[in-house]
């Protein structure tokens, strides 16, 4: 799956959850796009390595972030400490 697909999927999931929690569309939109992009790029960087196969450098996924359990755990652990300060900041800016 491409990084764009990851970002769109997780942003949609966060938008859905955010719509259940609050009714501030600007707040939800800014938060979900920011957190989704940062978390997915971080997971993508941590979860790939380059290996040399027959003289070619080939990127491959690692189990560090590319298993169902670990990717969900990583996304939750990133969002939990980030959510309150980001929401508080965005609420004051908007």
Average pLDDT of the chain to the nearest whole number: 78
Q: What's the pLDDT score for residue 71?
A: 72
Which of 31, 33, 42 shows the shortest CA–CA distance to 92? Answer: 31
Tell me the pLDDT tens digit for each residue of 34-53: 888 888 888 778 888 888 99
DSSP 35-79: HHHHHHHHHHHHTEEEEEETTEEEEEE-TTT-SHHHHHHHHHHHH
Give SS3 for 7. Answer: helix
Tell me the pLDDT tens digit for each residue of 52-67: 999 999 888 888 777 7
Q: How far apart are CA 83 and CA 76, in angstroms?
A: 10
Domain count, the chain: 1
Q: Answer yes or no: pTM beyond 0.85.
A: no
Mean pLDDT of 71-93: 66
Q: What letter does residue 94 receive in the DSSP assignment?
A: -
Which of 36, 32, 64, 33 shows the shortest CA–CA distance to 48? Answer: 64
Q: At what angle do helices 68-93 and 25-46 cross, to 10 degrees?
A: 140
> pLDDT at residue 83 above 80?
no
> pLDDT at residue 13 above 80?
yes
Confidence band of 88 (pLDDT split at 50, 70, 90): low
Q: What's the pLDDT score for residue 54?
A: 92
Domain of residue 50: give its range.
Answer: 3-93
40 and 21 in contact (C-beta within 8 Å)?
no
């Amino acid at each position: 799956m491409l990084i764009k697909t990851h970002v769109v999927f997780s942003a949609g999931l966060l938008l859905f959850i955010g719509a259940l929690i609050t009714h501030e569309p600007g707040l939800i939109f800014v938060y979900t796009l920011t957190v989704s992009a940062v978390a997915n790029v971080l997971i993508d960087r941590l979860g790939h390595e380059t290996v040399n196969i027959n003289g070619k450098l080939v990127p491959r996924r690692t189990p560090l972030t590319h298993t169902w359990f670990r990717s969900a755990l990583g996304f939750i652990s990133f969002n939990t400490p980030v959510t309150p300060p980001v929401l508080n900041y965005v609420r004051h800016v908007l």
